[in-house]
Amino acid sequence: MPKKEKLEHSEFAGEFTDDDVTVLVDIFRPSGTNGDWTMQVITQDEDLIEWEEPFATDREAFDEFLATVERDGIRTFLDDADPSVH
């Protein structure tokens, strides 16, 4: 059985609540590397939204999340026709 890859999670990862909606923002990269960061948002209904492009820093990823919430509202993660890719 293949080993699971260990991940390093960003200090910016965690629950985020706005407009009475809570989502889990997960920002991570392979542990022990200086690789790019991946960002996912997991809704209360356990829908997974993943950004296609990686981020150079975890701060850039979190800033993109905040910009999306500011621009489109947090409910965009609930109303997305294709919730798997952002």
Q: Are 77 and 83 in contact (CB under 8 A)?
A: yes
**pTM of the predicted model as reported, rounded to 2 decimal places:** 0.85
pLDDT exceeds 50 at position 28: yes
Q: How many CA atoms lie within 13 A of 24 on its CB side?
A: 10
Q: Which pLDDT value is given to residue 74?
A: 94
Q: In the predicted model, what is the mean pLDDT of the chain?
A: 90
Tens of pLDDT along 69-81? 999 999 999 865 4
Can you tell me the distance from the alpha carbon of 31 to that of 16, in angstroms, rounded to the nearest whole number?
24
Q: Which pLDDT value is given to residue 83?
A: 46
As given in the structure block, the two tokens for residue 24 are 């889990």
Tens of pLDDT along 29-58? 999 999 999 999 999 999 999 999 999 999
4: pLDDT confidence band, cut at 50, 70 and 90? Answer: confident
